[in-house]
A and B are shown apart, each in its own frame.
Chain A
Amino acid sequence: MATHAPTHAHTDHGPGHHVEPKPLGYWWKRAFVATVVGVVLALGVTWFVRWAWGFHPLWNAGVYWTMIFIFAGIGFIIGIGCFDWWWDYLRGRRVGFEDHSMHGATSWKDYLRPNTDHKVIGIQYTVLTFIAFVIGGLYAEGVRAQLAQPGEQFVNGQTYNGLFSMHATIMIFGFVIPVFSGLANYVLPLMIGAKDMAFPRLNALSFWLLVVAVALLVFAPAFGVFTSGWTAYPPLALQGTTGTTMFEIAIQFAGASTIATALNFMVTIVTMRAPGMTVWRMPLLVWANATTSALVVFGTPFIAGSQIMSLTDRVMGTNFFNAANGGDVLMYQHVFWFYSHPAVYIMMLPGFGIVSEVIATFSRKPIFGYRAIAFSTVAIAILGFGVWAHHMFVSGMASWIRIPMMMTTVLIAVPTGIKIFSWLGTMWGGKIHLKTPMLFAMGFLVTFTIGGLSGIYLGTLTTDIATHSTYFIVAHIHYVFFGGSVMTIFAGTYYWFPKMTGRMYNETLGKWHFWLTFVGMNLTFFPMHWLGTQGMPRRVADYAPRFANVNLFISIASLLMVAGTIVFFYNMIYSWAKGAKAPWNPWRGRTLEWMVSSPPSLFNFDLTPQVVGGPYQYGIPGARHAVVFAGPELGGGELTETDKRLVLIVADQAVASPALIDDIRRRNAEGYWRFTYVVPSTVDDHRAAERRLQTALAVLSESGIDANGTVIDAPPMQVIDKVMREENVHEIILTTFPLGSSAWLDQDLVDRVRKATGIGVTHVTILPSEARATVASESVARVVIIANYGIDDVGLAALIQKRADEQPMSAIVLCPLSLEGPSTTPETDAVRAEASGRTATLIARLQEAGIQTRGEIIDGSVTDAIKVARTAHHANTVLLATRPGDRIEITEDITAAAGQMNLEQVTTNGQTSTPSGASEGR
């Protein structure tokens, strides 16, 4: 079970902040007592009111049950502690508005009590709703078991009605709607750079309202089968039992829960975005949730109203839908669908948001048509309020409504199509990574498009009238709910699983889950189109024998989905407990939630992040979405991830060249890069390559650049191949000398690497003179060698190489010539040329050995050379090299000139050998 990193950087304590946390048993005992008190109170109040009003009979089970469920539900929520803070507030107690006593989780127990941390609530929601998903799925398998053959198999018709009613109700109100709230609860505040939701206590209340709703739904069958379908049309619903009462009250609790969450999302999105996050820089999931929240806030009261009327009609004898007493039975459908059509977008738009995130991230491309997707989301929401009567084409409503509703319905296909094509456009030409979330997103595109197309059929009046009561509807709704919503839910669950739990799921099992679900889903629901057009009626326990084979096939195929779901739960539970630790950013996403640890710390961001660009600028060099800072406890500064994108640098002699290092510095400033050098070498110059690498790494680490490297004795292609197998390389920088002096270019290496690796290769050309130039860096010792005769002795070069092995160094060779008389005579020129040759020999030897070296001839004494070493080259050490027998006397002049520099005398062995000369650059 995930726990969150310890908090820091929070000083705003309110009263109650340091109260010792109460044990879990305390809350649940209280909840139990309060529930019982609620039941007793309900009985008492109802009895009193009925007695006072003189109602007969005094005992009416339906009314008492209704009141019991309402009071018990509210009692439970009060008992579990959701109202504790508000209770203190309304009594006029001193309360802390920043009271965090219920915030965060350190053990699994903290997930079982009211918690104000949006991350905890997100997990609470997700777990609860997936439990509901299992229950709803079992009901579905009950339905398929019954339908496997014609005739009554296991249950009678009434029970069968209960099975599909419970299946739909639990799936819609217990799973699809709230699971999106759960996922968004977790990631939305992170995505906009907020520390929590706007109203954390309201957020906790939302969750526990949902707990009551789900409990009522799940236990409803125990109080009498609820048989009228999830739409609960009167007059059928008016014949219901106590189970129906529980359904109607559960809708009130679930509705209150979603409205509270939607308000919370809305206020959070509008007021708590990080600085710099304009509306056009919001991730599309945020857009989707803002729009959905508007739908929820303005739509949900209608289903609440419809269920209140239905409930009072049944248990209190009101006449809303009773035609005999002036009621209007069709009115229910109008009011119900005025919510429930927007509700299908409430169940789909957050999924669109998830898919936008997943497809952009795994296609490694900026999302195609960001604004088009955002606007089409809003357009769907607005149009969604104007299409409700297309559910009622066969209901006998006023016929003039039909054509306008048909037109608006078909019109909705336009913004939906814009989205589908935008996602396809995003994938087009992208570098698609087929991870499980991406598989689900791509599967969604296929199945949702099928569902959308059959939706257009059903939106047209004539087709709908023909197929309305058939399995064509069942096929359509499952292609949009399962092929649409549920696929996106799985995509989102896998996508954010590492962030939510801090662990990686098993990719292989994820792929098994996808293929089982995708194949099973299509085999199950696609034949239903055919059944529908052939006239098999929906919602009936029995059917004509000619449909027997297809139905048996469907029932068997549905088991594939069961298998997939088992794989899914095994994967989730096992990975949550034992999976590999997740890095901060396993998908290399750009949005803010990936810039903090997995799982994030208690208040997400220690300092407010700064948004500097759009969220989907994949593959755009230098583009960044946001900058996140660490708190003072962590040393401040920009927060970096542990999982940076890896750049492979392939270089030979230019490894430590200042030009290449400058290039790396520039690249590093763009974002989250880390660098690995590989130096292909031969056994002969292995040591030299090591020395160059040490120098380069020393310089880079001094600049705070995350770099490492190795020397591998192999040709470059083999070396690259080896590294690519071991590491997830994102880009290669290939450094060569210019064309003509580069052996690598002669071998056409750049193109071959491009072809072999398939990733981006940047070719950097370095002149040989630049390649061996000295580097200026604190961590690289600058050693000046002053010598004249003996400068080309082998012993001197060997001596310096030994030093270079101890510490990365740059060498500067100075050859002082104290010539007297006129400066340019044939004699002096000859002496100079000779000295120059000797110096060049040493420089070449050192460069061959992998030491960045330069040198010059100085007209002047040793003292002058020492002065040059100090002032021009900022040397740390000066080596005075003499042949055996010679000694330079250390005069006061020399020590004064040397200043802080180390002054050492070394003796060469006095043997010159023919210098091998600088090898041809590669």
Chain B
Amino acid sequence: MTTENVTLGADLHGGGPADEQPRHMSQGTFAMLLFLGSEAMLFASFFTAYFMVRFNVANNVWPPIDPVTGKKYVLPVAVTGVNTLFLVSSSFTLWWGEHRLQKTGDRKSLERGLLVTIFLGLTFLVIQFNEYWHLGFSPRDQAFGSTFYSLTGLHGLHVIVGLTLLTICYVRSRRRHEFTAERATVLWASSLYWHFVDVVWVILFCLVYLL
């Protein structure tokens, strides 16, 4: 991440470009970290909406009362809690695959790890989709519905993007035998993204479902 201080006179006549020197972090990983900062701010803007609606307007009467039925809206905390476990465990399976690659250079384990992760991510998506189907309120129902669907929907989109990235990694590993312990920027960046999606979900689950 830092540029090496090359003393005057060293490498005067055409040493390699600066990026051939050892660095702690590859350019791609650094870019992904910055991008995740940007993504975090995108979620922050929707969380801002959520909190302002919840505390400024609704005075924390939350979930608010459905004007049609006269009852409070209900969120399926238990099912989603289980679903959260799926997603969190997917981070660990991904970590296992990467760990195997890094320690032993075992690409087969990486592929297995990726497959299980993708499977868990898909499971999460399906359960979340099923939840949408059965919630009984839509994005048009009160600001509550709007903020709930926008936050979870935005996260769902990120899960889809994360799954795409992991699938690309799987394809590259299978078909091109890419990724070694030393050189796997695309893999590290994708897994960073996936962990980010997980962390955001844990925060989202706590703030939207539990709080």
Contact = CB atoms under 8 A, between A and B. Distances in A.
A326 B14 contact: no
Interface residues of B, number: 58
B176 A323 contact: no
A636 B2 CA distance: 30
Given A267-B34, A278-B5, A298-B38, A326 B53 contact: yes
Given A328-B52, A607-B13, A320 B147 contact: yes
B140 interface: yes
Nearest to B165: A90
Interface residues of A, number: 58
Nearest to A631: B14
A276 to B, nearest CB: 6
Dominant SS among interface residues on chain B: helix
Nearest to A53: B138
Contacts of A175: none
A275 B146 contact: no
Contacts of A607: 13-14
Contacts of A74: none
Contacts of A272: 17-19
A326 B58 contact: yes
A627 B146 contact: no
B38 A277 contact: no
A134 interface: no
Contacts of B12: 610, 627
B18 A273 contact: yes
Nearest to B139: A318
B23 interface: yes
A546 to B, nearest CB: 42
B3 A319 contact: no
A763 to B, nearest CB: 32
Given A301-B42, A629-B13, A326 B27 contact: no
B142 to A, nearest CB: 5
Given A301-B41, A305-B46, A277 B175 contact: no
Contacts of A338: 45, 48
- Residue of B2, B3, B15 most packed against chain A (CB within 10 A): B3
Contacts of B1: 270-271
A275 B6 contact: yes
B27 A271 contact: yes
Contacts of B11: 275, 608, 610
Nearest to B171: A92
B2 to A, nearest CB: 8
Interface string B132-167: 000000011111111101100000000000001000
Nearest to B67: A325
Interface in A321-356: 322-323, 325-328, 330-331, 334-335, 338
B77 interface: no
A92 B57 CA distance: 51
Interface in A249-278: 259, 263-264, 266-267, 270-278
A305 B49 CA distance: 9
Interface string A689-733: 000000000000000000000000000000000000000000000
B44 interface: yes
A275 B27 contact: no
Contact of A312 (B58, B139, B176): B139
A267 B53 contact: no
A629 B17 CA distance: 13
Given A301-B44, A608-B14, A309 B8 contact: no
Nearest to B51: A331
B143 A312 contact: no
A612 interface: yes
B150 A608 contact: no
A301 B146 contact: no
A612 B8 contact: yes
A308 B13 CA distance: 53
A70 to B, nearest CB: 13
B48 A90 contact: no
Interface string B28-46: 0011001101110110111
Contacts of A331: 48-49, 52-53, 56
B150 A312 contact: yes
B39 A317 contact: no
Given A267-B34, A271-B30, A305-B49, A608 B57 contact: no
Nearest to B45: A305
Contact of B143 (A264, A278, A327, A335): A327
Contacts of B108: none
A580 B6 CA distance: 39
Contacts of A334: 48, 52
Nearest to B30: A267
B85 interface: no
Given A271-B23, A302-B41, A328-B53, A319 B142 contact: yes
A591 B41 CA distance: 35
B10 interface: yes
B65 to A, nearest CB: 10
A300 interface: yes
A320 B140 contact: no
Nearest to B173: A92
A492 interface: no
Contacts of A312: 139, 146, 150
B126 interface: no
- Residue of A259, A300, A320 most packed against chain B (CB within 10 A): A320
B140 A319 contact: yes
Contacts of A18: none
B112 interface: no
A11 B172 CA distance: 25
B35 A275 contact: no
Contacts of A316: 139-140
A263 B31 contact: yes
Given A319-B145, A608-B16, A199 B64 contact: no
Given A312-B139, A328-B56, A608-B18, A320 B39 contact: no
Contacts of A629: 13-14
A320 B49 contact: yes
Nearest to A309: B49
B174 interface: yes
Given A270-B3, A304-B45, A607-B14, A320 B30 contact: no
- Residue of B16, B49, B141, B145 most packed against chain A (CB within 10 A): B49
Contacts of A278: 3, 5
Contact of A198 (B27, B42, B48, B145): B27
- Residue of A195, A300, A331, A627 most packed against chain B (CB within 10 A): A331
Interface in B156-198: 164, 168, 171-172, 174-176
B144 A263 contact: no
Contacts of B149: 318
B34 A320 contact: no
B35 to A, nearest CB: 6
A304 B42 contact: yes
Contacts of B174: 92
Contacts of B34: 263, 266-267, 297
A109 interface: no
- Residue of B18, B52, B139, B176 most packed against chain A (CB within 10 A): B18
Given A301-B38, A304-B42, A328-B53, A318 B140 contact: yes
Given A318-B150, A319-B146, A327-B143, A273 B3 contact: yes
Interface of B: 1-8, 10-19, 23, 27, 30-31, 34-35, 37-39, 41-42, 44-46, 48-49, 52-53, 56-58, 64, 139-147, 149-150, 164, 168, 171-172, 174-176
10 contacts: A270-B1, A271-B3, A277-B3, A305-B46, A320-B146, A331-B48, A334-B48, A335-B45, A338-B45, A607-B14
Given A271-B27, A318-B139, 14 more contacts: A92-B171, A92-B174, A195-B17, A275-B4, A302-B45, A305-B49, A308-B150, A319-B143, A320-B49, A326-B142, A334-B48, A608-B14, A608-B16, A636-B13
- Top 9 nearest A-B pairs by Cβ distance? A305-B45, A92-B175, A275-B6, A301-B42, A318-B146, A607-B14, A326-B143, A301-B41, A327-B143
